[in-house]
Amino acid sequence: MEILQLDCGGGRCVLPASARIALDGSQYHYRNDSGRPQVVEVSGMSSNAGGWGAVLVSIPELQGSRQAAPAAGSLQEKAACGSFPDGPCPTNEDIAPGSLALGAVRNWYNHGIDQNVSAVLEALAPLPGGGAAYVWRDERVAMTREQAAYVAARFAESVYPIETSLLGRPWGDVNPRSWIYRIHPETKDVHILTSKAGGSEGMIHPRDRMLKTVFSNGIKHTANERQLILLSDTLFQTTNGLIWQDSGKAGSMLHTLSHEFSHLIFGFRKREIPQDPISSLVWENEFFAQTAAHVAVSSDYPGVGGDAKPLHPDFAGLPFHKLFMECAYQDWGVAGKNVSCYTQTIALGAFLLHQYGPNLLRDWLQSRHSGVYALDEAIRNNGGKDFLDAKTRFASTMLMASRFEAPAGYGFPAVEVKLASGDTNPAALSFSLPALDMRKAGKPWFWSWKQDGSMDIGQHIFTPYDERQTFQVPANGSLIIHKGAVPQPAAT
């Protein structure tokens, strides 16, 4: 099996002579950097019993924004609260240690179902560096105190130190203008509410970090003025008499908890620290959170296949056949589009980490840019070319699934995560993201490519005529010619 670049010029590409005798599964790549859709003719597809296939790859049309480098010292400038004409700085909302006992009851506004809920404090744990994690249960849902204690412990001992060491804290010095609108920047407590979540597994809402005084009377009551993570009660339900921690639900819960906490960090460090807040689209927010959660969960769930236990929730039951269903990143979260790409970004995020290492997340977060520009910068800083190249390599890797061992530059090789000790991480941490053997991975299906922009990875089904075929390669996209048919959805 070989992977080579196509020899192209003037809209014409020729397969290398070696393609005639290469194994089925061999691949030949072309990249369109022209900034516009490009029609190319590929020749040299000799008669092959297994046929030929093609996969097209694109990156989001709304690429994000570039921003100039900030002035020296402006990123974490701090000023006295009294300098603001709006009045004094908001108070720190951290709860004094020991002042809140298990069984305490308070109301929270649940943004998942848009209503107030009464919740009971079921568990708490001190956080390294200050503050505490408080686990609350909506009085109308089921969650045992043992489950709540597990949530508090894993957050305080695993998720929190890993993510804050790698990404930074969701508290500390901020742009002074942020203090006018938000809760005190030194607020360290994290509250975790288990309740109904409106069909999602978890969420955070940016309004919760805002002060009630910012809003009109109609929605003032919906600002919780706390760092709050909502977890769905479905994550704590088991069937067939399974023990919760052995059922897979505990791993899913930890992934969701890690995912939502990384949203808190992402929002704080992109919007509250810089003098000029960095806006990002839904796809970048969600993609980042999926990728960060993969690292945080790996410490507790290192298994990636076979009999390895405990099995990482990102790989346990990952529906490989759904990776390349219709999914256009730029439509994710857009009203009326009904598009989400969670399944694909689980696998693509893991691919980025295994190829470029966990520091990619830190560089992504610290970039002054957003969207594809931020990803390009982070990937280059960690030995890669850019996001299109990485995404093409990801699609190429998935074409090898269940057949070939991935060569260097492809696949999911093992990578070490080493985190130095610090104020939120008392002891240095070291763990692995183990290698995933692509020969044992599920075989993904590639849905047919659509030119309407509703897909970012899909296959072009064709039969060569006179050993050649014409393709329209998307702007800022790539083409993979595959010797042999590309797996496609089973007929229904």
pLDDT 10s digits, 21-37: 999 999 999 999 988 99
pLDDT band at 79 (very low <50, low <70, confident <90, very high): very low
pTM of the model: 0.91
pLDDT band at 156 (very low <50, low <70, confident <90, very high): very high
Res 81: pLDDT: 46
Mean pLDDT of the chain: 86
pLDDT band at 358 (very low <50, low <70, confident <90, very high): very high
For the record, the structure tokens of 405 come out as 């061992």
Kindly list the distances between the CA atom of residue 178 and the CA atoms of 76, 187, 269, 365, in Å, as whole numbers in the listed order. 11, 14, 12, 19
Encoded amino acid at 382, one letter: N
For the chain, domain boundaries: 3-59+456-483, 81-440
pLDDT at 269 over 70: yes
User: 281 CB contacts (<8 Å, ≥6 apart)?
Assistant: 60, 62, 64, 330, 332, 333, 370, 371
Res 123: pLDDT: 97
Q: Which residues pair with 110 in a beta bridge?
A: 115
Q: How far is CA 111 from the centre of its chain?
A: 21
Distance between CA atoms of 211 and 168, rounded to whole angstroms? 23
Strands of 412-484, DSSP E: 415-419, 429-433, 457-460, 468-473, 477-483
Query: Which spans in 41-159 are helix H?
Result: 145-154
Mean pLDDT of the 460-477 span: 92
Which of the two residues, 333 and 166, has the higher pLDDT score? 166
Q: Are 191 and 209 in contact (CB under 8 A)?
A: no
Distance between CA atoms of 167 and 160, rounded to whole angstroms? 10
Write out the CATH class of domain 3-59+456-483: mainly beta
Res 89: pLDDT: 55
Determine which of 21-30, 179-188, 262-271 has the lowest per-residue pLDDT on average.
Answer: 179-188
User: 342 CB contacts (<8 Å, ≥6 apart)?
Assistant: 286, 290
